[in-house]
Structure 1
Amino acid sequence: MSKLVIFDLDDTLLCADSEFHFTKYIVKQGMLDKDFYLEKIKAFDKDYRSGNLNFNDYMRFLLYPLIGKTKKEVDLLVTSFINSSKDILIDDLTFELLEKHKKDDLLIASGALDFIVQGFANYFGVDEFIGTKTEFVEGKVTGETTGEPNFDKGKLVHVSEWCRNKKLNLEMATFYTDSIHDLPLVEKCKNSIVVSPDERLKKHA
């Protein structure tokens, strides 16, 4: 009998942070100034680790070089990024986990931007995913997100809604994550498995 298995993406299915490496890739493509990127990413990383990250400001920073691009252009960029970065971001543990749960109902739920989550979901052959929604107006990226970010309590809200629509029991799900920001979902799921947890999540493991 299949069960629901939920995966966080960054530092769980992946060995590192997808958006960090995506932004590095954008810098290499000449789409973002290197010095500007380094200054901003260090500040955001400091805020994230201290629990003071302004998530919306971080999303705007990530989306800035994509303003005006179509979904097709963004998807092609993500595909190229994944192909060039997969040896850094993906290891054997990823495929072992996916193989272990191949007969289960799988969901990748990440705070990362939805087009990045979708790109990795497609690469892994996982049909269902939830990410932070990118706003498109007249088919082009505006530089903003839409709806509640899929982050912290927002992830619990979105995953709960997804489960209701699919008529699946969230409380009986298995959830893999590394981050303290997933604590609301960790506490909701009966079987939460921490993967290389950060120091704050270790206290709850």
Structure 2
Amino acid sequence: MQKTLTIFDLDDTLIKGDCSRIWAQFLVHKGLVLDPNFLDEEQRLMDLYAQGELDMSVYLQFIMAPLAHLTTQYIDNLADQCIGEYILPRVYPEARELLKRLKKTKQTTMIISASMSFLVLKIARALGVEHAFGIDLEVKDGCYSCAIEGVASYREGKVIRLRGWLGRQDCLYVNLHFYTDSINDVFMCQFVQQVNVVHPDSRLSALASLHDWPKLYWKAPVLSPKQLLASL
């Protein structure tokens, strides 16, 4: 059987904002990180990501170090709260409608994100997306470490993870559709059959113009004052 697979990047594609950035702000908000320079350094690293120059292992070391003493269960509970209160309200309304249409027509959907899987998998489940990959972290003594388990779903790693998944399926996915905002996903764009860019960064926008990829500019979700954690 031949099928279509619709794949989404997560941050700044399905949601307005980056869930890793929101998570960092949430940790400060909860008093789990007291370093006054934490968010500034996190922003510096995210700026490197936007430029396609981030060393993901450096970012993970930074973002996970304050949580090294917390159990996976405790972090997972925190993730549930962060996602429910601050991330899901940021889903683009058009993204929700698209996911509903795909589900109604029984299309297979997937999220592949460079954010941590303990966030990505929960977000995908909440959105009704069947399959999801984030960056998996090794667990040591019941706690998440900063060490990557397997291949990181970042840049070329997204294609590697997707290829592995496709090779394990009983059916043949001949049409791969991909939605993204970031130049970091150029490798995925080259791998799939159809690309749609969502609020693309400048370099991805130029590439989209070159290849005639549709550019989507979705209306921002309306947030209440209590949901504006990112303004911290």
Q: TM-score higher than 0.5 here? A: yes
Report the CA distance between 1:4 and its aligned residue. 0.8
For 2:108, the equivalent position in structure 1 comes to 105
Alpha-carbon distance in 2 for matches of 1:14, 1:164: 29
Report the CA distance between 1:41 and its aligned residue. 1.6
State yes or no: 1:17 paired with 2:23.
no
3-state SS in 2 of match to 1:141: strand
3-state SS in 1 of match to 2:12: helix
Q: Does the C-alpha gap of structure 1 residues 87 and 189 become closer, same or farther in structure 2, counting only changes over 3 Å?
A: closer
Report the CA distance between 1:184 and its aligned residue. 0.7
Q: Does the C-alpha gap of structure 1 residues 63 and 171 become closer, same or farther in structure 2, counting only changes over 3 Å?
A: farther
Instruction: Give the number of aligned pairs.
Output: 205
For 2:228, the equivalent position in structure 1 comes to none
Q: Paired residue for 1:189, among 180, 186, 192?
A: 192
Alpha-carbon distance in 1 for matches of 2:157, 2:14: 20
For 2:74, the equivalent position in structure 1 comes to 73
3-state SS in 2 of match to 1:192: strand
Report the CA distance between 1:34 and its aligned residue. 4.8
For 1:56, the equivalent position in structure 2 comes to 57
Report the CA distance between 1:169 and its aligned residue. 4.6
Q: Does the C-alpha gap of structure 1 residues 169 and 62 become closer, same or farther in structure 2, counting only changes over 3 Å?
A: farther
Which ranges in structure 1 are unaligned for 5 or more consecutive residues? Answer: none
3-state SS in 2 of match to 1:106: strand
Equivalent pair of 1:63/1:144 in contact (CA under 8 Å)? no
Larger radius of gyration: 2
Alpha-carbon distance in 1 for matches of 2:163, 2:40: 36
3-state SS in 2 of match to 1:151: coil
Report the CA distance between 1:122 and its aligned residue. 1.6
Q: Following superposition of structure 1 onto structure 2, how do residues 108-147 of structure 1 map, counting pairs within 5 Å?
A: 108-147=111-150
3-state SS in 2 of match to 1:101: helix
Equivalent pair of 1:170/1:188 in contact (CA under 8 Å)? no
Equivalent pair of 1:108/1:121 in contact (CA under 8 Å)? yes
Report the CA distance between 1:2 and its aligned residue. 5.1
Q: Does the C-alpha gap of structure 1 residues 144 and 9 become closer, same or farther in structure 2, counting only changes over 3 Å?
A: same
Which ranges in structure 2 are unaligned for 5 or more consecutive residues? Answer: 209-232
3-state SS in 2 of match to 1:12: coil
Alpha-carbon distance in 2 for matches of 1:65, 1:134: 15
State yes or no: 1:156 paired with 2:159.
yes
Report the CA distance between 1:123 and its aligned residue. 1.1
Equivalent pair of 1:110/1:131 in contact (CA under 8 Å)? yes
Alpha-carbon distance in 1 for matches of 2:76, 2:114: 18
3-state SS in 2 of match to 1:83: helix
User: Higher helix proportion, which one?
Assistant: 1
**One-letter amino acid of the counterpart of residue 89, structure 1:** R
Alpha-carbon distance in 2 for matches of 1:150, 1:136: 18
Cα RMSD after superposing both structures: 1.8
